[in-house]
A and B are shown apart, each in its own frame.
Chain A
Amino acid sequence: MYAQMIKSEATQDDPEMLAAFQARIDAGEKIEPKDWMPEGYRKTLIRQIGQHAHSEIVGQLPEGNWITRAPTLERKANLLAKVQDEAGHGLYLYCAAETLGVSRDELTEMLLDGRMKYSSIFNYPTLTWADMGAVGWLVDGAAIMNQVPLQRTSYGPYARAMVRICKEESFHQRQGFHIMMAMVNGSDAQKRMAQDALNRFWYPALMMFGPSDKDSVHSTQSMAWKIKMNTNDELRQKFVDETVPQAEYLGLTVPDENLRWNEETGHYDFSEPDWSEFFDVISGNGPCNTDRLNARQKAWDDGAWVREAMVAHAEKKRARKLAAE
């Protein structure tokens, strides 16, 4: 989908300008909003940043699901602060996208009518408190793998948003890991919840990096433009290599019989997730797709009168000020 778009847009640009643009990127320069850029670059970035922003926003829902049931005041405050951070990430990213000429409202409409997507991971349900641990540990952990390299992405506003976001994501990851620690050190019921959460979130977390490189035809142009910094499989491997020892430390079993350390490669061998499930989820058939989008649609509809009133009030205020001058 990305590649097709990039190709058709990019070919309309002047080859000399394209070459000069590529030379700037190769030299490590940052592209800023006022600079010339190929239409394909702009559109791909809108899609990528928009999808990232939507993921932060929809991602509030599975964790928001447990804020009202957090087991202690401390946990409640931590989770609230985390979800608040995610809303902030959404805001930075929508602002970065706006520098490319698309408004937050337009992006929201595209999310709601299905033209834009969000990460597949948020279409999985959060069923026990341990899921708050697993989401922080695995989902924010996977997000970090993706986002740390993006701090060096070629588009200035995106790179700068990533710097702010990454700091908070690593905090979220630690917070999630601490929840897991409390669970595995707790009662049998808590240990069971922790293992169950890992069982349910392991493969969906691996899917976060996108399809296998051999099936991912979109990467070449994005990597040349430094919009994408690593291949899907590179990041997935890095995630597995870092996460497996953490699972061992927690005394939890990664649900993969083929998982083993490979002395030759210096990496873990592991099973691929079920890609047919992944494609089901991104095409709308995940366990929560409908509920997540309905929740966002409802929030958007229920909030319409508030947004309209805020605008109307601001206009009235301006008019009153003018009249008084």
Chain B
Amino acid sequence: MNHLFEFLLRQGDNALVLGHRTSEWCGVAPALEEDIALANTALDLIGQTQLWLGYAAEVEGEGRTANDLAFRRDAYDFRNMLMVEVPNEDFGRTLMRQFFFDAFQVPWLDALQTSSDQRVAEIAAKSLKEAKYHIARSAETVIALGDGTEDSNARMQAALAYLWPYTGEVFVDDDVDRAMADQGVAPLPSTLRGQWTATVTETLTNANLVQPESGFAHAGGRSGKRHTEHLGHMLATMQTLQRSYPGAVW
């Protein structure tokens, strides 16, 4: 197994799948400002996808492109964490997920800036600027919606309950993570858990939301061993043109 390739797929697929989910909001957000902000987030994530998957394709060296990786792989070849592939459901879950993701991405990308791999460091530096902007907004929104009304608090609590079991996957180190840590490409994800928990606890407290007790974590996304049922549907939509017209230039 090419560990660097796997590592890059994980970064790219997280950005791609979350960017796609976010793009599903186009035109139907709760307010015009949110439409614009969600589109902005989606755009940043699709841009990051191009960088990560572009580099992944180079590292693989099989002549594939970022677009081949995005549009011509099957679900079991995707390496995103499960959390980003579950459906948006409502604005509350969408923003809660974005916040959980951002709370990981900010310290993670920060650490990747000093990666032994120059390209990784460059992509991380560019992505970090965006992630910092994203977390300012997602944390603020989670707080507003948790604090807002009884109804909004209940909805955010439900979003939290749904997503919580998906938050732990990213912190479970595996062979790819250990190989990357050995090569100085990336820290072990488990080492970021404390920082993530501190950010999350602070924000959830300010949002009047109760952090679930359970430490249970679903797994299978980052390894590709068992995705949710939702990913296949997402890919069926996203990949339709590339699959229906192989080789066409768009």
Asked if B29 and A186 make an inter-chain contact with CB atoms under 8 angstroms apart, the answer reads no
Asked if B33 and A77 make an inter-chain contact with CB atoms under 8 angstroms apart, the answer reads no
Q: Which residue of B lies closest to A104 (CB)?
A: B32
CA–CA, A188 and B61, complex, Å: 31
6 interchain pairs, CB-CB under 8 A: A69-B238, A71-B71, A73-B50, A84-B43, A90-B32, A307-B30
By the criterion of a CB under 8 Å from any partner CB, how many residues of chain B are at the interface?
Answer: 49
Asked if B39 and A87 make an inter-chain contact with CB atoms under 8 angstroms apart, the answer reads yes
**Cβ-based interface call for B130 (8 A):** no
Contact of B27 (CB < 8 Å), options: A83, A91, A309: A83
Asked if A313 and B39 make an inter-chain contact with CB atoms under 8 angstroms apart, the answer reads no
Asked if A57 and B32 make an inter-chain contact with CB atoms under 8 angstroms apart, the answer reads yes
Contact string against B for A residues 67-80, beta-carbon threshold 8 Å, 1 for contact and 0 otherwise: 11111111111001
Contact of B237 (CB < 8 Å), options: A68, A75, A308: A68
Asked if A77 and B47 make an inter-chain contact with CB atoms under 8 angstroms apart, the answer reads yes
Q: Which residues of A contact B31 (CB under 8 A)?
A: 303, 306-307, 310
Contact of B39 (CB < 8 Å), options: A75, A80, A307, A309: A80
A185-B249, A305-B155, A306-B31 given; 9 more Cβ-contact pairs under 8 Å: A60-B35, A67-B24, A68-B24, A73-B16, A80-B26, A81-B43, A90-B32, A308-B151, A314-B144
Tell me the interface secondary structure of chain B in the complex: helix
CA–CA, A73 and B36, complex, Å: 19
Q: Which residues of A contact B245 (CB under 8 A)?
A: 187, 189-190
Asked if A73 and B66 make an inter-chain contact with CB atoms under 8 angstroms apart, the answer reads yes
B127 to chain A, nearest CB (A): 15
Asked if A73 and B67 make an inter-chain contact with CB atoms under 8 angstroms apart, the answer reads yes
Asked if B32 and A302 make an inter-chain contact with CB atoms under 8 angstroms apart, the answer reads no
Q: Contacts A73-B50, A307-B31, A312-B149 known; A91 to B36 CB distance under 8 Å?
A: yes
A106 to chain B, nearest CB (A): 14
**Cβ-based interface call for B122 (8 A):** no
A77 to chain B, nearest CB (A): 5
CA–CA, A87 and B155, complex, Å: 26
Q: Which residues of B contact A314 (CB under 8 A)?
A: 144
Q: Which residues of B contact A313 (CB under 8 A)?
A: 143-145, 147-148
Asked if A80 and B241 make an inter-chain contact with CB atoms under 8 angstroms apart, the answer reads no
CA–CA, A264 and B143, complex, Å: 68
- Greatest chain A CB density within 10 A among B20, B34, B144, B242 is at B144
Asked if B33 and A91 make an inter-chain contact with CB atoms under 8 angstroms apart, the answer reads yes
| Chain A residues packing against B (C-beta within 8 Å) | 57, 60-61, 63-64, 67-77, 80-81, 83-84, 87-88, 90-91, 94, 104, 129, 179, 182-183, 185-187, 189-190, 295, 298-299, 302-314, 316
**Cβ-based interface call for B84 (8 A):** no
Contact of A87 (CB < 8 Å), options: B32, B47, B50, B250: B32
Asked if B43 and A299 make an inter-chain contact with CB atoms under 8 angstroms apart, the answer reads no
Contact of B46 (CB < 8 Å), options: A64, A73, A183, A305: A73
Asked if B28 and A298 make an inter-chain contact with CB atoms under 8 angstroms apart, the answer reads yes
Contact of A71 (CB < 8 Å), options: B33, B53, B147, B242: B242
CA–CA, A129 and B245, complex, Å: 12
Asked if B250 and A305 make an inter-chain contact with CB atoms under 8 angstroms apart, the answer reads no
CA–CA, A90 and B34, complex, Å: 13
Q: Which residues of A contact B46 (CB under 8 A)?
A: 73, 76-77, 80
CA–CA, A189 and B34, complex, Å: 37
- Greatest chain B CB density within 10 A among A72, A75, A76, A314 is at A76
Q: Contacts A186-B248, A308-B148 known; A80 to B42 CB distance under 8 Å?
A: yes
- Greatest chain A CB density within 10 A among B39, B46, B145, B242 is at B39
Asked if B26 and A306 make an inter-chain contact with CB atoms under 8 angstroms apart, the answer reads no
Q: Which residues of A contact B205 (CB under 8 A)?
A: none
Q: Which residues of B contact A60 (CB under 8 A)?
A: 26-27, 35
Q: Which residue of A lies closest to B49 (CB)?
A: A73
